[in-house]
Amino acid sequence: MGVIVKGLGASLPEKVLTNYDLEKMVDTSDEWITTRTGIKERRIAGEDEPSSKFAIAAGKQAIEDAGLKPQDIDAVIVATVTPDMMFPSTGCIVASELRMGDIPAFDISAGCSGFLYGMSIADSFIRSGKAENVLVIGVETLSKITDWTDRTTCILFGDGAGAAVLSRSDEEGILAIEIRADGSKGELLYMPAGGSRMPASEYTVKNRLHYLKMNGREVFKHAVTKMPAISKLALEKAGVDIKDVALFIPHQANQRITVSTGERLGIDMDRVYSNIDRYGNTSAASIPIAWREAYDKGLIKKDDIILLAAFGAGFTWGAAVVKWRKP
């Protein structure tokens, strides 16, 4: 018995925010943003568009792509740091809206590595016999926790969702998944208030503590070492050489991180997927959005080997080696 990726989906808000729009909001320039990050524009959710809206659309598309119905799904895992509410989980909202019945549904918080964490849990659910088909969604509306007066962070992030259906199969599709965390670095990328440590108060609102805070330089430094290292480990566990990887889809955090990771892995840039210019950093959603896009473009063929890797808040990081089994 093996586990395969049977379907992929993605959903993005319609509203586009360009670097030129940002020039009017904070002291920045298209030139600075482009050279430092590779981002040209990003999608922004409307006031009446919560994360669940994009999660449901991406999930629906992934289920259809798998040739399944929502009732065939045995569990829903939503990776996000911007759920609709603290509780109930966005997973419960998705399962209810898609009329999936009384199946397990929950959220996981693993920052930008959330989708790989979700894939790892889904893989274990299926291998242990608890489920046949699991829907994994990565979704963020980071614009809602972005401080639009802070030029060091507001130029980076975007909104959207991506999803995958993992299913039991006679073939093997998930060759390896490795996930890791180091909580001692938590405050290098975090949202200070709104939890039990610092509940919402007049003080927290006044001091802008409900926004994402990041030490960009430190996060960068760790991302460019952890992502290649865990990718190498996952490749080794899968018994795959980097030269046999058809496409590397890294978390889209910064084009400089993507290029550096590609170089450290020794893979040519024409086999490294990037769409950060159009969507910015969509955290847990970035890998499945990019994956669906590459698939739509015909860049992935049956039996191709795909490498995925991410790094983010926690710190968390991870990598997966997947053999594409769809025709």
Which residues are tagged catalytic? 112, 251, 281
Taking CB positions, which residue lies at the least distance from ligand UT7? 216
Residue nearer to ligand UT7 on the CB measure, 249 or 305? 249
> What CA–CA distance (Å, rounded) separates 178 from 319?
5
> What CA–CA distance (Å, rounded) separates 43 from 278?
8
> What CA–CA distance (Å, rounded) separates 8 from 65?
6
What is the closest distance, in whole angstroms, from the C-beta atom of residue 71 to ligand UT7 in the complex? 35
What is the closest distance, in whole angstroms, from the C-beta atom of residue 315 to ligand UT7 in the complex? 9
3-state secondary structure 81-105: CCCCCCCCCHHHHHHHHCCCCCCCE
What is the closest distance, in whole angstroms, from the C-beta atom of residue 170 to ligand UT7 in the complex? 36
Residue nearer to ligand UT7 on the CB measure, 90 or 316? 316
Cβ-based neighbour number of residue 205 at 10 Å = 12
- Rg of the chain on CA atoms, in Å: 19
Residue nearer to ligand UT7 on the CB measure, 106 or 220? 220
Chain residues that interact with ligand UT7, rule: CB under 6 A = 28, 32, 36-37, 112, 151-152, 155, 189, 216-217, 219-220, 223, 253-254, 257, 281, 311-312
Q: For tokens 């009329």, name the residue.
A: 99
Q: Is 215 left (phi over 0), alpha (psi -120 to 50) or beta?
A: beta
Residue nearer to ligand UT7 on the CB measure, 33 or 294? 33
> What CA–CA distance (Å, rounded) separates 212 from 107?
19
What is the closest distance, in whole angstroms, from the C-beta atom of residue 312 to ligand UT7 in the complex? 4
